[in-house]
Each structure stands twice: as structure tokens, then as C-alpha cells.
Amino acid sequence: MKLIFAELNQELSGLEVELRGEQGLRYSHWTAVRPDHVDMLGRDAGYRYLRAKGNSIEGGTSEILRNILAERVLGLPPESRPDRDIPWKGLEK
């Protein structure tokens, strides 16, 4: 559901920005303060568009979720990982 929601939200918010033209590019304020509550509908189209991009990153990127679905649900073979048995600190930089 997270994967579908992230993609759908990006498509819808992108369409909204396109339909609004110049008004779709407006962004009400750039304060870097954590909000008390999430309010997607009370903000402007520019905020919703930028926020939708974050949906594909939060909780695991969409690419990682696609890999999980392919391996666990569809039973496809996992990607080859030559570093699978090497500890993180043993990897070259």
C-alpha cells in the first residue's frame, strides 16, 4: 500500500500543479519548524507536490519496496550481492 500511495500521491499532486499553472508553483511559507500536525489539505499545491516526493523515501524507498515485493511475493531470485557475507566495517570506501 505504501508503494501505491507514494506513486499515486506524486501523480495527483503533479497534475494539480500543472492544472493550476502559475498558482500551482506558489508556496506559502518556508519555515523550518516541525508542524504540530500533518495537514495536507490545508496547504497549497506547491507544498503538497514537494511533500509527495518525500512519500517515496519515508519508510523505505520505493525501489527497495519493489525489490521486497519481487523477492517475497513473486518469488523472484534476489539481486546478486557479492558483499553479502562481508561485515559493514570490512567494505572498502
Q: Which residue has the higher pLDDT, 59 or 15?
A: 15
Mean pLDDT of the chain: 82
pLDDT bin (cut points 50, 70, 90) of residue 75 is: very high
User: How many helices and strands in the chain, by DSSP H and E?
Assistant: 3, 0
18 Cβ contact partners less than 8 Å away, ≥ 6 residues apart: 24
> What is residue 41's predicted lDDT score, i.e. its pLDDT?
66
Q: Looking up cell 492544472, which residue turns up?
A: 19
For 69-80, what is the mean pLDDT? 89
pLDDT bin (cut points 50, 70, 90) of residue 40 is: low
CB neighbour burial string for 51-87, b if at least 16 within 10 angstroms, e if fewer: ebeebbeeeeebeebeeeeeeeeeeeeeeeeeeeeee
What's the rounded Cα separation, in Å, for the pair 35 and 47? 13
